[in-house]
Structures are given as C-alpha cells and as structure tokens.
Structure 1
Amino acid sequence: MKVARRTMTNKCEWKEEELFDFVAGKIDRFKSKQLRLHLKSCHDCQSTVSEWKAILHCEQNVTQPSPGLKRRIDKSIDKFAKHKVNKWVSKPAYAIAGCFLFIFALLGLLQMKSTGGEEYFVQQQEELSHHPIARDANTSQFKVIPTSNFNKNEIEGTVWLNDKNNEMLLKAEGLTPIVEKDYQLWMIHPKRDLNGELLTIKNGMIVFYYKGEGLDEVRFIEVSLEPKGGSPLPTGPKAFYVDLQQ
C-alpha cells in the first residue's frame, strides 16, 4: 500500500509526521483531541490517517517474527522516531522511512506501546467488525443501559473489557444522529479527570475501540449528547451508560 504524500497548505497545518504519531498513539491527549476535531472536516487528513491505520494494523493477520529479529527492527524504528525531531525531513528520506514502516507492519512488528495513563489509542467503525477481543478468555462482557431521555426501547449494545490487555470495545445501535450535536463517550474514574471521546455514528451504530492503561480503574462508561465538536465536561442529556463493576 502506498501512502499519499501530503504537503502543508494554508488550510491545514498538520504534518504527515503528526498524523503518523496520532495513528501510532504517540501524541499527547490534548493534541490528539485537537486532531480528532480537525479530522471531522479535513478529507485529506482523513485519507492519510486511514492509510496509515491500514499499514500499521497489517500485523493482525501475519506471523510474529523471532525475538532477535524483532529487537533489531525495533532499534531501527527507534532511530526513525529520534530522527523526526528535526524540523524538516527530506521527502526521499521520509518516503524511504515509510517503506520501511510498511515492511515492518507486514512482519507484525509495529505494536501499540502505552506508557502510563496519558497515552492511548482509539479506533472506530468498520475495521473493528471482527475484533478478537470478544473471543478472548480474559474479556468481561457488559450490557449497555439506555436512559429514559432517549429512544430507550431501541438502544442496545455491549461493552467488552479486557483488563489484561488494557483494551475495550463498545458496540451500540439504535442512536439517532442530531444536527449540530455530537455523541461523546466518557470514561469515569474515581480518582482521575474525565476522558471524553467524540463518537462516529454510522447507520445509527457506534463501534468504538480503546486501548490504554488504567481501564481497570474505570467505574462507568457514559455516552451523552454534546454541542458540535464536543465538550470538556458532560453537559447534555445522557443517551446510555455501562456499569463496569456490576
């Protein structure tokens, strides 16, 4: 797969290096939220992010390499990451790096690494339709509980939570898109700030995957209707919630 090269324009100041870091889960939470908002209106960035996602997740269907080979290629990846601190990266060098990353992904070497609660990875919609988390023996299953504020009899869904792998998958259906409003997911920790994520609704359905440290501390998952672009805190009516410690 060839990733389309991007150049910075007056309308978009996000560089491809930043889009790659976003897909790889290597940017901070604030910057990640800014980029997710930007992706809602920038088709060029949407396309580039989708292509990087496809490349970096090829490892799900290939055989893992030997530990020795993995260590050698991990060192190459680290060198590439350090090289990106330069303000400008030449197009030939970046193209070569992209080719190497594609090869590494095919070998199953690029995996999400999480260092504390500040780094996490989010993925939504079609690519998650057959995610293996639901078949893992360490996964717990929880039902979505709709509230009376919405079409209670139509909303239904499930959350799969795997504390061992620090990952969660939410599937829910029966939600109605509302003009000038966004559905936003909240992870409620007893000792942490709220973590809000904008949700993509397609045909009334949410498919949302999250991987990051601290999932074992999450008490509730809630989805509320917020102003377009999302809110720093829940302000709108609650569509449904999930009790993860029931």
Structure 2
Amino acid sequence: MRIRQTADTQERLSGRCPAGWTETDWADEALGNLTGAKRAHMLAHLPDCAVCVRNRETWISIASSRPAGARSTGAAPDAAQEPARIGSPLHMRLRRHVAQLARRRAGRRKLAAGTAAACCLVLLLAWSLHRALPAREPIDAYIDRHEPAAAAVMHDPAATSYRVPPQLGGSGDAYVWINGGSGELLLLIEGWPAYSEQDYQVWAVSGREYANMGVLKQARGRAHLYVKSDLLGEADRIALSVEPKGGSTSPTSLRSIFAKLP
C-alpha cells in the first residue's frame, strides 16, 4: 500500500501519466471520438493512474455541456476529426481550458536557473524586432493591393463575415467573407506558418464531398484566396488543409473547419 501511495503522489506532482496517456486522449474519449482497442486500454488503465482519473473527470464535465446530438458517432473518419463550430460555447471553452493548462505547465517546467535571464533576452530581441519591422498593413489596404476584385465582397452587406481566433494548438488568425448569393468567397490568414514545399488549400464541403476552391496566395506574411464558384451555394462549410505544392485533388491533411455557411 505504501508503494501505491508513493506512485500516486509522484503522478500528481508530475502531472503526467506514466503510461503516456495525454489530456488530448482523454478529451477525445470524453467527446466520443475514440472507439475500439485504444479506448478499452485507456479505461483499463484508469484504476492505476490518479492523473488519468482526474483528466477524464475534467473532460467529461466539459463535454457534458455539449448540445444533444453533437457527440461524434464515429461514422466517418474525417467527421470525427472536425472541430466544433468556431462560434460554439463548447469550442471556445475547450480553447480557453487547453491554453490555460498549457501556460501553467510550461511555467512549472521552465522554473530553473537562468530562466529570468533568458526571458529578458527574448523580450529584448522581440522589442528590437518590433522596432525594426514596419507597421502591418491594414487588411482593406492589403486586399486592395493584392486582390482588388475581392474588395466588393468585404463590404457587401449581403456577405457573411467571420474572424476565426487561433485553433486548438495553433496560432494566428483567419478571416472569412462569404456571399452565397453571388457565389463569392474571400479567405485571409495571418500569423500562420509559411511552407516552402506546401500550400494551404481551401475546400467547399457538402456532407462528405470536398470541392477544391484553390490554394492560398502568400504575400507579406499573409495568405489569401478569392474565388467565385457555383459550388459555394451547395456547400455547408469551409475547410482548410495543408497540401503538397500546387494543391491536391482531395484533402490529405485536414487542418481546420472554419465556418458553417448561412
């Protein structure tokens, strides 16, 4: 019994599961995204790990506020990976909760000799870089310069617009303007990783069908796409993926589901 208490204490202090199960695993289990052998192994492991018990209880509590019918059924592999709609209270709560936990744990891991000096150096470099870089061009001016044909949809009262905060585990913002009546789409991202051998590709999604809308054009730390297509009138959401240079005929690495179309 003394050995078991010592192990539990070590687990609680470290905040990590000795078997390697993460909070992401328990979040997927609580949201119904796991089936088969992996879920069975995780549940069998619970009696031996206080960390996993606590993580599972936390995510079950969060998932309990999810609307009826929103829990994944596992019927389609790509559907199980799609995040909640960006504006939903659950998705916002998940982002805030994961970000808070990440900040706390990063702070604990980095408490060591020399941390204060390293932080000062980083702040100094960031300040120097900020002084050296010109002010970011306003989005309106950027579109006028790089995609003038898209300026109309930005200011069209019939268009629906979204500002998408950073996705779970990601960084940067995205902006979407959609006019289903005219079949126009403008998507702009900033602060996202830039790839030399890959492109961001946009898809209009209808059920399980992904229609290629094109790849984003990169310019001055941003990337954008403006397109007119009748397929937008049939789509129910917009997706973004990272593809080999030049794009793919179907998505190979789905990155984000941005928004449901009105």
Give the alignment's TM-score, normalised by structure 2.
0.40
More helix by share: 2
Larger Rg: 2
